[in-house]
Amino acid sequence: MAKFKLFSEESNRSPLSRLWKKFKANHPALVGLWIFIALTLLALFAPLISPYSINQQHANALLLPPSWHDAGDVRFILGTDDLGRDILSRLMNGATFTFGLSIIAALITTALGVIIGSLAGMSKGIRSSFFNHLLDITLSIPSLLLAIIIIAILGPGLLNTVWAIILALLPQYVHSIRNLVVEELSKDYISAFRLDGASKWKILVRGVFPNIYEHIVVIFTMALSTAILDIAALGFLKLGAQPPTTEWGAILAENLGLIYLAPWTVGLPGVLLFIAVLSTNLVGDGLRQVLKDRKAD
Amino acid sequence: MHLLDIKNLTIELPTENGVIRAVDKVNLSLKEGEVHALVGESGSGKSLIAKAIVGVLNKRWRVTADRMHWQGVDLMRLPPEKRRKLVSQDIAMIYQEPSRSLDPTAKVFEQVSESIPEESLSGNFLVRRQLRKKRVKALLHKVGIRDDKRVADSYPHELSEGICQKVMIAMAIARNPKLLIADEPTTALESTTRAQVFRLLKSLNQLKNMSVLMISHELEEITTWSHAMHVLYCGQMVEAGPTEKVFNAPLHPYTQALVKSLPDYAQGLAHKESFYALKGTIPPLQHLPIGCRLGPRCPQAQKQCVVTPKQKKSHGHTFACHFPLLKEDKKCNPS
Amino acid sequence: MREYLFRRISLLLFMLLTLTAFTFSLNYLFPGDVLTNLSGQVNSSYAQSQVLADKYQLEENIIVQYGAFLGRIVDGDWGYSLSSGQPVFEHILLLFPATIELCVYALVVAIIFGIPSGVIAAVFHKRWPDRVINSLTLMGFSIPIFWLALLLIMVFCLGLGLFPMSGRIGLLYEIEPYSHFILVDIIAQGFPYGGLAFIDALKHLALPTIVLAMYPTTVLIRFTRDSMLNVLEQNYIKTARAKGLNRRQLILHHALRNALLPVIKQIGLQFSTLLTLAMITEVIFSWPGVGRWLIESIYQRDYPAIQGGLLAVSVFVIFANMFAEFSHTVLNPISRNQAHGKI
């Protein structure tokens, strides 16, 4: 017999809970979310839970392969590098730098992007034109080049890298957020709001933002994946994190010479990078798909 | 023989809260050369029926029918390719918003010449190209576009809605279809263009003996030139029959309400007189009433109306009501 | 149309001016002596620095200096590289074609693989080709480019020995630099071992091109798929279907044209990212291009070189972007008719 319904009302859920329900049904996105949360926790608690410290060298265990190899040792699950440092601990601490700092960079970029993008979107006329063309120019400088120049000005180092990445990512996301705001402003309910006498601030905060914050979250995930890749790239080019900071890209660059002897020292940080970016992209994609489905309903 | 013979057409949509029956057991039959009007408010399922006949419904909708015959061929049992071929040869459809139904990146000439069947052109490449140009010109003239060179050379967004609709009609008649389904073709047009389009369809019907299935919610315009009328409420066919009979002596309360709601400008209206309308609104798809769907709104509803009334025929006039509005000398017999 | 062109060109000039202003300001932002940054000469004697100060008009106010800077740029005097002592402009002329060659081939590969895959994914929406293409695209999108390069090197060079690891062409071959595009040069020269040289150059090109093309391909696939899905929902597609067109005709004649228009615009926007990735690829594969040179310049704190490289690369991106947008406007009937060239 079919489900017995006592009341004839259908379910009346809020948009947010409908979003979550649909998101849960998308299994890859859910797995991505779990991995994302796991990595965040790792980034927060790595120093507490990693087996060894990052600089602890074991002279008698140099270049050990991962433990599933014959020559490996279960004490060092992912093997050791040429100085005898445990790779697992280094990678776990690296999560704090690569992943944690990327999240901070992406958050700041998104926040700044929202502020500047809303300003640009709300302005009209010559001021708006001028603003927009200025943004377009910053879009035409490749982001890595911009980051490199900023590092050239500020000098290498992890913190400067974060600043450089924030400034290099900013143009693209200001552009996206500005487009979102402009699109929302052209809708009829905003006109109705304005005719009711709402001030610009109220229109922005009460009218536009509640309708675009979900898209801003999607933009945040995209910013995050780009930030992770950029921080790692800068670390790889030795322009970002300097040793002994265990940022994943820097680890890759350090062990480049060992590529023939000990390929796992080069492969494993890359795998972690891949998983981090993949999980972020899965979450972002899932969210975007779910937003589209919810709109179609 | 009937051109189009549909019996008990049902269109359902499975959703998470159960199956929604958008169209409930509708019968329709068309003979050659006739103009039938399908009347109903928006949301009554008229477009769904049209799309189901042509076969462009979204795959989510479930279409079932006892019979859906086109010139004797059962459309439901044909494989999709054959059905598409059959339908494209003999049935044509025009839509509500003509400028949206035209490809924005293709010139009008291209789109019209696409509708011309390839087989009717003979000769080598150059000869065919000339023939095509001539055909397009002839078609555009036939639908009343005098400035055919300019129109053929433009893109759809450069033309007005009226001309776009005429272009669509030109595309539709290019294959000499036996049936033209017009899905609210004049809703987006101004009144002068409306009259033009109606005149065009009427002349096509009379000159080429082309049947027209006219779907609309404007009662007054269609009643002048249609042979038969089908009234649809909420997916149920409430009355059908020859137009004069249905219009002048409606048997179903809904049809009567529709007819009464047309303001009679000839008699003049009293100052601040309220128009006639049934109380209430069309129920949403999720909360359709059981039995006769007009029940909650009908001024004559009684307890029996929770059972769907069967369709009864009397002198070619079909109606589905437990308490039809028969003439005053006959008593209403509940049956 | 004329008004549109006029607005576009004035926009271009505005962008170029701002770019040069930014580059000029770098002289002051970079650490070190302003004069050294400007000219590229270190440890000049007092007399020399006086002459230079005159030339670069350091005495005057900043607007005049900027004017002088602009004049020098147009002349071709972009300063001297601190590390090599050669004029920066000559370096760029030599190295830029190599980068452009790599980028163009990667873009061509991306277009050839990306657009059809996107179309196929959209046409077979929610069935297995769509799922497979989607998963592959997501993975390709998430892979760090330098790791991909290293993996390919490990497998194909060190493991299988199929492709060489670095450089543009083997040391055996001496090709006269004619246009600086290596494949063109080989063909133009009619070298006695031309065929072998060509194959060798192709082998050197293979891995960097694949690595560089990965990201743009995935972006193009996603974008084409989204655009195509959007178009397939539209009313005119349903009308054409009812008209009786079969699937293939429908897609080729109507859907493709409408779907590809935004894609052209997107290709233009990809240039900036492409160059970023090209820089990393050049470093890994020791490809003699502008990217590797820029990164080495920053290791060596060669500020005039960085400025010159920035100028060259950004101007290239601006022009490429403008070209793509221009083609989009030309091909798109809707925007052709807008009264004001809405930029």
Give the model's pLDDT for residue B329. 43
Give the model's pLDDT for residue C186. 65
| 3-state secondary structure (DSSP) of residue B94 | strand
pLDDT tens string A3-49:
665 555 566 778 888 888 888 888 888 899 999 999 888 888 887 88
| 3-state secondary structure (DSSP) of residue B258 | helix
Residues 150-179 of chain A with CB under 8 A from chain C are 151-153, 155
- Within 8 A by CB and 6+ apart from C126, the residues are none
Is-contact A94 A246, C-beta < 8 A?
Answer: yes
Q: Which of B105, B120, B173 to mutate to test the interface with C (most CBs of C within 10 A)?
A: B105
Count of CB atoms situated within 10 Å of the CB of B149: 11
Q: Cβ of C244 and B87 within 8 Å?
A: yes
C166 contacts in A (CB within 8 Å)? none
Count of CB atoms situated within 10 Å of the CB of B164: 23
Q: Which of A140, A160, A186, A218 to mutate to test the interface with C (most CBs of C within 10 A)?
A: A140
pLDDT tens string A271-296:
888 999 999 999 998 988 888 888 77
Q: Is A10 on the interface with B (CB under 8 A)?
A: yes
**Of the ranges A140-144, B49-53, C197-201, the best mean pLDDT one:** B49-53
Give the model's pLDDT for residue C169. 66
What is the count of residue pairs from B and C with beta carbons less than 8 Å apart? Answer: 64
| d(CA B127, nearest CA chain C) in Å | 23
Give the model's pLDDT for residue B157. 85
pLDDT tens string C51-101:
766 666 666 677 777 777 777 777 777 777 777 777 888 888 888 888 888
| d(CA C223, nearest CA chain B) in Å | 19
Nearest CA in chain C to B157: C334
Report the alpha-carbon distance of residue C73 to residue B167 in Å, rounded: 57
What does the DSSP assignment read for C38-64?
A: HH---S--HHHHHHHHHHTT-SS-HHH
Is C47's pLDDT higher than 50?
A: yes
Q: Is C316 on the interface with A (CB under 8 A)?
A: no
Give the model's pLDDT for residue A297. 66
pLDDT tens string A167-220:
888 888 888 888 888 888 888 888 898 888 888 888 888 888 888 888 888 889
Count of CB atoms situated within 10 Å of the CB of C117: 22
Is C167's pLDDT higher than 60?
A: yes
pLDDT tens string A156-166:
777 888 888 88
Nearest CA in chain C to B171: C243
Q: Which member of A148, A152, A263 has the closest CB to residue C30?
A: A152
Residues 177-196 of chain C with CB under 8 A from chain A are none
C124 DSSP 8-state letter: T
Confidence of residue C191 (pLDDT cuts 50, 70, 90): low
**Strand B211-216 relative to strand B35-39, pairing:** parallel
Confidence of residue C325 (pLDDT cuts 50, 70, 90): confident
Give the model's pLDDT for residue C42. 62
Report the alpha-carbon distance of residue C335 to residue B123 in Å, rounded: 38
Neighbouring chains of A at 3+ CB pairs under 8 Å are B, C
pTM tops 0.80: yes
**A226: which 2 tokens?**
């780009």
| d(CA C240, nearest CA chain B) in Å | 8
Least confident of A15-19, B27-31, C151-155, C181-185: C181-185
Q: Cβ of C272 and A142 within 8 Å?
A: yes
Q: Which member of C240, C246, C333 has the closest CB to residue B155?
A: C333
Report the alpha-carbon distance of residue A65 to residue A170 in Å, rounded: 41
Report the alpha-carbon distance of residue A39 to residue A280 in Å, rounded: 10
Q: Which member of B88, B93, B104 has the closest CB to residue C333?
A: B104
Confidence of residue C106 (pLDDT cuts 50, 70, 90): very high
Least confident of C42-56, C145-159, C317-331: C42-56
How long is chain B? 335
* Pick from A225, A26, A290: nearest CA to C215: A225
State how far the alpha carbon of B205 is from the alpha carbons of A1, A89, A124, A175, B199, in Å.
52, 84, 54, 56, 10
Is A131's pLDDT higher than 70?
A: yes
Query: Residue C272: which region, alpha, beta or left (left: phi > 0; alpha: psi -120 to 50)?
Result: alpha
Count of CB atoms situated within 10 Å of the CB of A260: 9
Is-contact A227 A105, C-beta < 8 A?
Answer: yes
Report the alpha-carbon distance of residue B14 to residue C80 in Å, rounded: 73
C142 contacts in A (CB within 8 Å)? 225, 274, 277-278, 280-281
Report the alpha-carbon distance of residue C220 to residue C266 in Å, rounded: 8
Q: Is the ipTM reported for this complex over the cut 0.85? A: no
pLDDT in tens, chain B (335 residues): 788 888 888 998 887 777 888 888 888 888 888 899 988 887 788 888 888 888 878 788 888 888 888 888 888 888 888 888 888 888 888 888 888 888 888 888 888 888 887 766 677 788 888 888 888 888 888 888 888 888 888 888 888 888 899 999 988 888 888 899 988 888 888 888 888 888 888 888 888 888 999 888 777 778 888 889 998 888 888 888 888 888 888 888 888 888 888 877 777 777 877 777 888 888 887 778 888 888 888 888 888 888 888 888 888 888 888 888 876 544 444 44
Average pLDDT of chain A to the nearest whole number = 82
What does the DSSP assignment read for B213-240?
A: EEEES-HHHHHTT-SEEEEEETTEEEEE
Residue ranges of chain B whose CB lies within 8 Å of a chain A CB: 17-18, 286-287
**A134: which 2 tokens?**
């200025």
Is-contact C259 C224, C-beta < 8 A?
Answer: yes
Q: Cα Rg for chain C, rounded, in angstroms?
A: 24
Count of CB atoms situated within 10 Å of the CB of B161: 17
Q: Cα Rg for chain B, rounded, in angstroms?
A: 22
- In chain C, alpha helices (H): 2-29, 34-39, 46-55, 62-75, 88-123, 128-142, 145-152, 182-189, 194-232, 235-243, 247-249, 256-285, 290-299, 303-331, 333-336
**C112: which 2 tokens?**
């050839």
Q: Is A297 on the interface with B (CB under 8 A)?
A: no
| d(CA A226, nearest CA chain B) in Å | 35
